[in-house]
Structure 1
């Protein structure tokens, strides 16, 4: 039985014919007037919009957090922003720590800082390593590879000023059209964080982390540089880690309205890898790792260097931004057990981008336009060797993996009245994948693939009260498979791109002491990338039709004020995500749940803040219902529900010195934080990764 995923008042075939036409019509009715009729525009522009020069303490190429918040809240869809102040008051070690309180995001560490799972609205659930389906950016510049795959361990949460989260096609701000959208980590500059800073942390599992930062604004120049070092023995056996990372940027202001900025980041990452475990092993002894991981010295070592430039020009009514980037990455990755290989990759990625934004008055109506183009190219020299004690043995495969992607996009917001904007967008993706087999002993597996798509978006935003909005949108997205899915076999390299259509309705705002962010969405997917078993082989395949739908609720409430002393407050913040991801009448998996993420996920914190500078309170992470690890939905192998209790406290001396203590999993609960997924799992399937046990971290930070 196949369910009809389209609302009852219109058939699916009719929707597929009419909705793109509606999007194009709305785009034409707004953007075309603004862009193609300059004479008419100039005649009707009764209230010219002028972009004023940026203050000297604000960079042009890297907007301040408040400016970024103002911009992002123009989006007619699910977005969020997390500032550094929200994460630096505790132990911010992974991307999970940054995104913990963003509803709709499921981010869980596998072990240490390695391979944090990042899934937004169910993106990339078939993988718990090398994420896909969400674009990772640094200062609006891609970190993910040209083929769409990527990792998060090169992101240092301590080297971030704020983080923007664009869910789904709301990431058209950066030209992305993916189910998961985009996450943009934005750097401090010498204008946003001038002065010196040192930070030192110690904690459980022999953890230690150090950071130094310096930022200066010297007339037209400014710079910011921050090196960090972290070490940990890890909660699990064979999970030692050493991370050395450097991030910095140098800006030069040509005048009040133009600035260029150079970015540089480098990482030297050494991470030992424990094995995934069976369910029974993970719950009985979560610290253990398989003997094969010691024998094969499994690890993941990355040496990376990334450089970029972004130049922005303010115009009378908007902004033009152009830039380019290049990145080099060496990966040495011995694996053992069922995959006895040493992965040895050398990778180059690069590209350029241009974006124009403009604000006009058309017939006394405000109109905002964005146009952009992105180009990404990459080449990976991928070799695999037999693993001999963690060293290279006999060569097993050798290939060049070439990716090129061009994105062209435009979005227009036309204000029919000052508080209501109609928004239309159109994005085109033109992607190329080429696999050159350089190891022909087992036959020539070379192939070429093209993945092209056109992805419209329509929406509306109603600012019905000061600081309060309603929004809705209907969007299309497309995800070409990365090489991690394409593989090297004839079965897998014929994969189609994953398509989705998402309908979203939501609200965000603030009233008095209460702030909220809520969204309801439903996505209809075709060709979702999933796993199937054929004989004794597991392959990636395109599922026919699947559904991703959910509810995202986030908010903060200042429940009490002036209880102990004047200007103190007690606040509650929470992020709840309801996720229903399932096959839709599949021939094999019927209407089974898509494995890999919990249906209910809650993060909440109660905090008391005193006017003198100290704060503290408990927090909880709650998964009230276990979830499946295979497409077959084997009930006996579901994860268990869990609740984790934490607590955080600190003191701000007011002279630049801050102290904190951060306790996690204080009841020492054994639980599964992250799973791999399979077509059909058994009791011997090693898919489970235990979460860390009880841990306490202390830290001090001083700025001057």
Structure 2
């Protein structure tokens, strides 16, 4: 693999004009956070919790672009079984459940708008700042359990530079609960479609040592035929405060998930009986069984009052058993082991008016195993041996410079060097398919923050986007042979505003971003007509990704301790080909033109209740824009009651029992007879309870 002079890039950027600056690096009148409150257990908060609080504040208020914070405690007041539930009210992120029990179609700012729903590329996923996304950029069979999340930071698009990402969709960092910020508890949830889910969390703090263990089990029949799921998981972390200047934490997790796949339906099948499974899925017993082990460590050293160093590593092994295609002519069972090794280094320093962050991410992914011909419940024989590997090195530097009392400029760059090699050997004849490529780029970013008042900001930024293909995209190149796809690249411009405004005993907040990105060589995939369930990938010359992302909420005091809390999340999408030789200026498929989600809750003395709603616009299922999927409106209800050490909740979803399409499979030109529609969840009721001890 070729290596670019990334060290020279970092060295040059470090020489910033900071020696003369004397003003504080963080504005004294930074706006308050609308969504996150960091609380400590009865044992008291440690320096790590304080650093976390500072990080959460900085990620939102000192980033010139769209960043959303998600509080895990609030998620425990409603039914949460997948990423779609976690990200329900995050604007700019389109999530839809229905493909698997835990899985969800995930797209941020128009990433991953193609047929490779299993790949999930375009968004860098992390846990405690350490990579969960594989080194080649794919999120295939990744597991981020909402039950094991204390906070989530969603940095959309180029706003993920602080994580070393330059992807179209940005980054999502799940922050693990510890015994210092989470109580020991028992949680149970039951509901429609045979859902039974429970977890036990036990934590302890003893001086500078703390430890937390969570065991969870989940079982569901699913709202469709052949959609049953069984899952067991274990999460643990332990931390030591090594004096006032150092702390380290170890993480361990294990997940065993067995999941049936119901498959997609034709339009006629969907209208007739959305609960049925595709007949091929039942005959072929299509499954998505994953077993995962993960170990990680993160150590933070406070070098002095203004400097800190963070070092971390992670190692993960995932075993995938995935029968996905079966017919009298062709069958496919994927049986692979994926190993991911990741490392990170962060150096942070305050120099007068500058707040500097330099980082290094290292990643290596290996996939070994094969594609098999199989008979359901019977024999199997290997057809292709798979030996893939990807590497990635990301160097980045970010400076937040408050050059005037109300003004902060945020600028920096990412340097990336990556390699991909997908090697497949056809067993019958020894033919080798071996696409491989090296990818290098420097991706600058510059932004400006203006503090209008103590509680309101304006911001703007311009950034370069860059994303190399995943191993799966290389394998699926429509051209075949050993030629590698090009990396996606482009430029994005963003403007926006955010604020939290008090109004007597009430308060309200907003966060609005408008962005426009012009891309070259975006990688898109469509379902292979010769082998349904597999895909073909290609570079597209020019595309446009633009949109408006808005989150608005309030807490309106009614007197007597009561309040009304409305919350509204709006996403407007403009994703199009730009003068393409085949598709002209057609809309890109899969993402709706608009999404409006929200709720209005009445709250008083631990009680809350109110309606929820979701309005989704139409979208296309093909690049030709000949097959349109209608929009839909869902209405629900939420209620709950909590005491000092307990709480209960209930949630009713899809009150009107709307028949709608959740996820779709993208074609080049879809026909009405194509099985490409995945129905959404029917009317459902869930209840849950939590007891702290």
- After TM superposition, the score normalised by the length of structure 1 is 0.89
**Could you say which residue in structure 1 is the equivalent of 2:543?**
546
Change beyond 3 A, Cα 1:48–1:486? closer
2:321·2:336 contact (CA, 8 Å) conserved in 1?
A: yes
CA distance in 1, matches of 2:170, 2:181: 27
Q: Secondary structure at the match of 2:669?
A: coil
Q: Secondary structure at the match of 1:336?
A: strand
Q: Secondary structure at the match of 1:484?
A: helix
Change beyond 3 A, Cα 1:77–1:48? closer
Q: Are residues 1:501 and 2:488 paired?
A: no
Change beyond 3 A, Cα 1:151–1:87? farther
The one of 481, 484, 488 equivalent to 2:472 is 484
Q: Secondary structure at the match of 2:659?
A: coil
1:132-151 mapped onto 2 (5 Å cutoff): 132-151=121-140
**Could you say which residue in structure 2 is the equivalent of 1:652?**
642
**Could you say which residue in structure 2 is the equivalent of 1:267?**
255
**Could you say which residue in structure 2 is the equivalent of 1:360?**
351
Q: Are residues 1:293 and 2:281 paired?
A: yes
**Could you say which residue in structure 1 is the equivalent of 2:618?**
626
The one of 409, 431, 450 equivalent to 2:396 is 409
**Could you say which residue in structure 2 is the equivalent of 1:457?**
445
Q: Are residues 1:641 and 2:634 paired?
A: no
**Could you say which residue in structure 2 is the equivalent of 1:400?**
387
How far off is 1:517 after superposition?
A: 0.5
How far off is 1:290 after superposition?
A: 2.1
CA distance in 2, matches of 1:668, 1:202: 19
Change beyond 3 A, Cα 1:265–1:590? same
CA distance in 2, matches of 1:140, 1:63: 16
How far off is 1:336 after superposition?
A: 2.6
Structure 1 vs Structure 2 CA RMSD: 2.3
1:245·1:266 contact (CA, 8 Å) conserved in 2?
A: yes
How far off is 1:113 after superposition?
A: 2.6
**Could you say which residue in structure 1 is the equivalent of 2:36?**
none
CA distance in 1, matches of 2:412, 2:142: 32
Q: Are residues 1:556 and 2:543 paired?
A: no
Aligned length: 656
- Deviation digits for residues 70-119 of structure 1 (CA, Å, limit 9, x no counterpart): 12121111101010122110111111111111110101112453430111
1:425·1:457 contact (CA, 8 Å) conserved in 2?
A: yes
1:572·1:604 contact (CA, 8 Å) conserved in 2?
A: yes
CA distance in 2, matches of 1:490, 1:541: 6
**Could you say which residue in structure 2 is the equivalent of 1:425?**
412
Q: Are residues 1:330 and 2:319 paired?
A: yes
1:147-166 mapped onto 2 (5 Å cutoff): 147-151=136-140, 154-166=143-155
1:61·1:261 contact (CA, 8 Å) conserved in 2?
A: no
| Runs of 5+ consecutive residues of structure 2 not aligned to the other structure | 1-8, 27-38
1:65·1:162 contact (CA, 8 Å) conserved in 2?
A: no
1:237-316 mapped onto 2 (5 Å cutoff): 237-314=225-302, 315-316=304-305
CA distance in 2, matches of 1:84, 1:240: 26
How far off is 1:646 after superposition?
A: 0.6
How far off is 1:128 after superposition?
A: 2.1
1:334·1:391 contact (CA, 8 Å) conserved in 2?
A: no
**Could you say which residue in structure 2 is the equivalent of 1:33?**
16
Q: Are residues 1:604 and 2:598 paired?
A: yes
| Runs of 5+ consecutive residues of structure 1 not aligned to the other structure | 1-25, 36-40
CA distance in 1, matches of 2:614, 2:527: 34
2:63·2:410 contact (CA, 8 Å) conserved in 1?
A: no
CA distance in 2, matches of 1:220, 1:34: 39
**Could you say which residue in structure 2 is the equivalent of 1:349?**
340
Q: Secondary structure at the match of 2:224?
A: coil
**Could you say which residue in structure 2 is the equivalent of 1:15?**
none
**Could you say which residue in structure 1 is the equivalent of 2:91?**
103
Q: Secondary structure at the match of 1:283?
A: helix
1:622-701 mapped onto 2 (5 Å cutoff): 622-623=615-616, 625-634=617-626, 637-654=627-644, 656-701=645-690
CA distance in 2, matches of 1:534, 1:161: 40
1:342·1:391 contact (CA, 8 Å) conserved in 2?
A: no
CA distance in 2, matches of 1:61, 1:433: 37
- Deviation digits for residues 458-485 of structure 1 (CA, Å, limit 9, x no counterpart): 1111122112211111011111110111
Q: Are residues 1:616 and 2:604 paired?
A: no
